Every structure is written in C-alpha cells, then in structure tokens.
Amino acid sequence: MPLGKQFDLEKVVGKIIKYVKWVIIALLVVTLILVMAQAVNSYISYDLVPKVVILVSVALCCVALIILECISMYLVKVFKMKMAFFAFECLIMVILGILTGNVLGVVLFCIVLTECYMTIEKQVDKFICFICACALYIVSYVVGWVIVNAGTPTSDSVLSILSGCLYGLLAMLVDYVVVDFLMYMYNKNVELRRALREAEESKAELRTAYAKLAETSVYEERNRIARDIHDNAGHSITAVIMQTEAAKVNIDTDPEQARRSIIAANVQAKHALEQMRASVHLLAGRTDDLALKTEIEQIIMETEDGTDVKIRFALDNIEVSDAVYRYVSNTVKECLANGLRHGGATAFYIEMKREGSGLRLLISDNGSGIPDGTIQEGYGLRGIRERASELGGKCTFTTDEDDGFETDILLPLSAAAPAESAAPPAVPVISAADTPAAPAAAETLDAIYDTSRETDTDGTHSARR
C-alpha cells in the first residue's frame, strides 16, 4: 500500500475515534437525563425537602460525571491519571445507583467502561475493570432498589432485583466482548499499517541501495573494460610495434627473421583488434553469444589465415562464466602470439576439456623453448598466471631448450558464480607433471609437423614472454 494511502487511512481512523468519543458523550448525556427523569418520578410522592435534596444530589452527580468523563477522554493522557478518573466516575455511578435504584445505571457503567476499554492495553487489566464494575453495579443497584422500593413484597423484590442484576451483568458482558473485539481489530490494523509503512520504507531504501549498486556495478564494469583495453590491447599493439621495428631492422640482413616478425605482428594486430571490438561491444551493451569452443576456433582460423602456422586442437564444448570465457580466449591469443614472437613456433596444439569439476586448457608449441628451462615471466605470462589464481585455478609453464613451450591451466568451473573482483576459493589442481596428456602433446608436435619446425639463423630467442 502506498504511503500516501496509509496516511489517508490514519486520518480516517482518527476521525472515527473522534466521532466515537462524541457518541459516548452524547449517550452519557441522554442517559443521565433519563436517570434524572426517573429520579423525579420515583421521589414525586416524597416531602418537598427530602425530594429537593435527593434530586439536587442526583443532578450534581450527573453533571460531575459528564465533566469527569470529558476531562478523562480529551485532556488526560497519562494512564494512571485515567484510572484515577475512572475510580471517581465509578464512585459517582454507585451514588447514582443508590439514589435512583433503576437499571439505567448499567448503561452508565457500559458507557464509562467503553472509554476505559479503549484506553487499557493489557487484557488482564480490562478484565479486572470489568469484574470490579460488575460488583459495584450489583451493590449499587440492590441497595438503591431496596431504598426506593421500600415496602414492596419480598417475592416481588427478590424477582425484580435478580432480573435487574442479570440484565445489567448481561449488558456489561456484551459491552465488554464487543468493545474488546473492536479494539483487538483496531490494534491489529494499527500493527498492520505500521508493518506496511516499515515495509514501504525498507522497499524504498532497498530501491535506493539497488540503484546505487547498479551504478557502482556500471562504473566497475567500465573500469574493467578500460583496464582490459589498456592491458590486453595495449600490450598487443606494443608488441606489433616492436615486431614491425624488428622486421625493418632485419629485412635486409635476415629476411626470414623479418618475415617471422611480420607474421607475428599480423597475428598480434588481429588479436588486438578483436579485443578492442569485444570491449566496445561490452560498452555498448552488446554481448556475443558465441560458445567458448567456437571463439577459440575463430582465433585459430584467424591465426592460420595468411601464415604458415599449423594448429591442431581438441576442444570440448564447455559452458563457462563470462570471466572464464574472457580469460581463456585472451590466454589462447597471448600464447599463440608468444609462440610466434619469442619461440619462432610454426606448430601449436590446443586442448580444452572438462577434468572433474574443472576446465583444463593446454597450449603447446614447437618453438625453440628457453635455455635451461628458466622462465623469466614478462607481462604476458605473469598476467596469465595471476588471473588464473584470481579465478581459483592454477597455471604452470613448462619449457626446455629446443623443445617448445607449454602452458597448462586448470580452472574450477565454479568460477562462474562470483563476481570478477572476487577470487573464489581455490580448488585442488593438477600440475603439468601429474597430467599424462600434457607432455605427450608437446612430444608429438614435432612428429606431427616434422617439416614445419624452424629456428632462428643465429639460434637465439628471447627468454621473456
């Protein structure tokens, strides 16, 4: 329920309570007028002085009762003060019952008790007030009836007293049950409106928090995309510049090396273009629906296109998170570019398969490798290893001189759940040495492409990748 409607409902309830109070005062005034009229009729045969004294006393009690009820209802807010006023009102009604001796006294008790029930919150306190009022009514009615109807036969007196008491008790019981039920419904309605108001306020707070979170997420995603463009595409373009500069230097003295540099630059440029295109799509709110297997196949086709590079692959169709998708595709591009640029590789083997609850990615080349197997991680390799760790996986690099370079990665598929900025719990991983397929793939590359192996004329390669 909207807050505006709740406030309107509170205004309506407040008006209803105000009208109920007016009705209570009006009923009290009418009842006291009837009590006064019955008192005049009851004492009409009395002598003048006693009659005047009694009627004046009744009139004063009626006026005092009206004044006390108005003060208690409109001015007194403290609970103990209200109970004190209620005690004085009960005393006045007892006096009126003794002076008049008629059943109209029960109406007075019901009117006063109604306002009392509206004030008291505890059920036990209400019931105590009800019992006390019943006792006071019975005492005042019996004493008043005996005084007013003195000389009436005993049988008639007993019957009239019993009927009057039962009538009064029944009326007070009905008043107690009805008013208590109405107050119960009113309190429940108040609690419900309070709960609805709190729910609306909480909903508004959640909506505000969600809007801030969405805005923060947009900024974080833009920052991530900007970082990807700067790190990946920027790194690729830098490599292109370096390769083309190397080609210019070697084009006269070492045409073959220049050729390989141009091929590596071409592949790196394609990858940089693809990375920037993907980042622009993300910024524009568009995402590609290509499966990871299809994405890797396209990377392989682009790498082979216009070059002498041969790439064999065995790819399973595995559903992964966006973070793993980007990591795997960028890693394949980086490893292909590294193999061409640093190792002079002419053949690659790429394998992606499900292994237990994880994804294993293996990339091997037939390049020159690194002397003594000592790997000095450059920007690219360090980024691959650190990102694998962030995703809860593990990355190992294996190389020997003249025996190519191999990248072995194992990622948990549960990495699909957390956000990119959160590193999921690490899962058990299997190193390259524990995997039979890893060394086998590297060992068979030269056999598969026995005519495609090429090395530099001077036999040197960069040890940083």
pLDDT digits (tens, 9 = 90+) for 195-237: 888 888 888 888 888 888 888 877 777 777 776 666 666 666 7
Give the model confidence (pLDDT) of 3-42 as tens digits.
444 445 566 666 777 788 888 888 888 888 888 888 888 7
Distances (CA, A) of 250 to 43, 218, 340: 137, 47, 16
Could you read off the pLDDT of 276-301 as tens digits, one per residue? 776 666 665 545 556 888 889 888 88
Mean pLDDT score across all residues of the chain: 77
Could you tell me where the beta strands, DSSP code E, fall in 86-177? none
Percentage of the chain modeled with pLDDT above 70: 79
pLDDT digits (tens, 9 = 90+) for 131-179: 998 999 899 888 888 887 776 777 777 888 888 889 889 998 998 999 8
And the tokens for 369?
């490798």
b (16+ CB within 10 A) / e for 334-353: bbbbbbbbbbbbbbbbbbbe
Residue 351 has pLDDT above 90, yes or no: yes
| Alpha-carbon 363 to chain mean position | 43
The predicted structure's pLDDT at residue 361: 95
Q: What is the per-residue pLDDT for 233? A: 66
Task: Classify the C-alpha dihedral 64-66-71-77 as positive or negative.
Answer: positive
Q: What percent of the chain has pLDDT over 90?
A: 11
Q: Are 374 and 341 in contact (CB under 8 A)?
A: no
Q: With bands split at pLDDT 50, 70 and 90, how would you rate the model's confidence at 326?
A: confident
pLDDT in tens, 47-103: 788 888 888 988 898 899 889 888 888 888 888 888 888 888 889 989 888 888 778
- Enumerate long-range contacts of 131-135, CB under 8 Å, 24 or more apart: 132/90, 133/90, 133/109, 133/172, 134/168, 134/169, 134/172
Q: Which two tokens mark 221?
A: 């995603």
- For residue 313, what pLDDT band results from cuts at 50, 70 and 90? very high
pLDDT of 113 reads: 86
* 281, containing H or E segment: helix 255-283
Q: Give the pLDDT confidence score for residue 364 in this predicted structure.
A: 93
β-strand partners of 464: 376
Q: What is the pLDDT of residue 291?
A: 84
Question: In 10 A of CB 275, how many CB atoms?
Answer: 23
- The rounded distance, in Å, linking the Cα atoms of 350 and 370 is 20
Quote the CA–CA distance of 274 and 267 in Å, as a whole number: 11
End-to-end CA distance of the chain: 63
Q: What is residue 234's predicted lDDT score, i.e. its pLDDT?
A: 65
Q: Sort strands 358-365 and 394-399 into parallel, antiparallel or unpaired.
A: unpaired
- HEC string for 371-422: HHHCCECCHHHHHHHHHHHHCCCEEEEEECCCCCEEEEEEEEHHHHCCCCCC
Name the band, by pLDDT with cuts 50, 70 and 90, for residue 315.
very high
